[in-house]
Amino acid sequence: MALFSVATARLSQACLLLFVMSVIGFIGVHSIGNPVFNIVNIETATPEDIRRATIALGLDQPIWHQYLVFMSNVLRGNFGTSYIYHLPAFDLVMSKLPATLELACVAMLIAAPAGIGFGLLAGRQKGTTFDRTVLRACIFALSLPSFWLSMMLILGGAILTGWFPAGGRGATVSALGSYWSVLSVDGLRHMVLPVLALAIPNIALIARLSRSGTIEVENQDFTRFCRAKGLSPHRILMRHTLPNISVPIVTIIGLQFGGMLAFAVVVETIFAWPGVGKLLIDSIQLLDRPVVMATLTFISVAFVGLNAIVDLYHAVLDPRVRLAS
């Protein structure tokens, strides 16, 4: 019953947050520029042509009326048609999703085990040279702006050495109705640099969290009791330390994965990776409002949904969360 109340509360909060984000996003998108000028030929269009195009797009209505129309269409699964590509906006976003999804999944598959491993080893060797090196490297990695890190990876991995391509997605293989770079050798080569740009800050974040959790657990009475019983350090680490730090680690992994889906805009733009983030930037520049709103809605739902799942998972593992709710 307590878990059901937690789920209900999280769902209500998620719905309210999505509503607020839709209002803010809609007002922000519709306060920038006039998309009609990107649709009609300004050099030959007459004022009457511009007026008819404005009416056809529904842009002559008050913004509150446009928002109500937008929400009523969204509830029916219709995000409108792209002004530029002349395709259903949501279908266009979904066509770019596999590129973003494989980038985020591969980056997290690298970041999670690497971050946990470095954090556990550093925590077990607190105060040693290895621990200080890991801690300083984490601070340095977390302080790097993503655009600077991406450009340095291009400089080192593509321009100076020529080991990897500087951008693009490379060859893709069709599977499950979509095209995937991860299934081809050329596609994997194109993925290396953008994956590293996403993975390096997350390795640092997970490593710092794992290190602090390991140090805290290692100082607990039950860990000392396990040592007094003569249990091996490896058994203590795998059977006691790792399970006790798993909840915050899983929480941060879920949140960071949602962040990769939502905020990979800079990395995708710099590496010309044809994902959802690059589509968002291109659509904003072209004032393609249906695509912008479809992209923002998808990103919001994905990010809020992953946060809600993480909260529920936390409540399942930790009874104190259910009691606090």
pLDDT in tens, 79-124: 888 888 888 888 888 888 888 888 888 998 999 899 988 888 888 8
- State yes or no: pLDDT of 280 exceeds 70: yes
How far apart CA 206 and CA 211 sit, in angstroms, is: 8
Neighbours of 31 (CB within 10 A): 8
pLDDT of residue 13: 74
How far apart CA 12 and CA 89 sit, in angstroms, is: 27
pLDDT of residue 323: 46
Q: What pLDDT, in 10s, does the model give residues 44-63?
A: 667 777 777 777 777 777 88
- State yes or no: pLDDT of 178 exceeds 50: yes
Written in H, E and C, the secondary structure of the chain is CHHHHHHHHHHHHHHHHHHHHHHHHHHHHCCCCCCHHHHCCCCCCCHHHHHHHHHHCCCCCCHHHHHHHHHHHHHCCCCCECCCCCCEHHHHHHHHHHHHHHHHHHHHHHHHHHHHHHHHHHHHCCCCHHHHHHHHHHHHHHHCCHHHHHHHHHHHHHHHCCCCCCCCCCCCEEECCEEECCCCHHHHHHHHHHHHHHHHHHHHHHHHHHHHHHHHHHCCHHHHHHHHCCCCHHHHHHHHHHHHHHHHHHHHHHHHHHHHHHHCHHHHHHCCCCCHHHHHHHHHHCCCHHHHHHHHHHHHHHHHHHHHHHHHHHHHHCHHHHHHC
Residue that wins the pLDDT comparison between 103 and 311? 103
- State yes or no: pLDDT of 275 exceeds 60: yes
- State yes or no: pLDDT of 310 exceeds 50: yes
Q: What pLDDT, in 10s, does the model give residues 120-153?
A: 888 888 888 888 898 899 888 888 888 888 889 8
Q: What pLDDT, in 10s, does the model give residues 230-263?
A: 666 667 666 667 777 777 788 888 878 877 776 6
pLDDT band for position 166 (cuts 50, 70, 90): confident
Query: Rounded mean pLDDT of the chain?
Result: 79
pLDDT band for position 317 (cuts 50, 70, 90): low
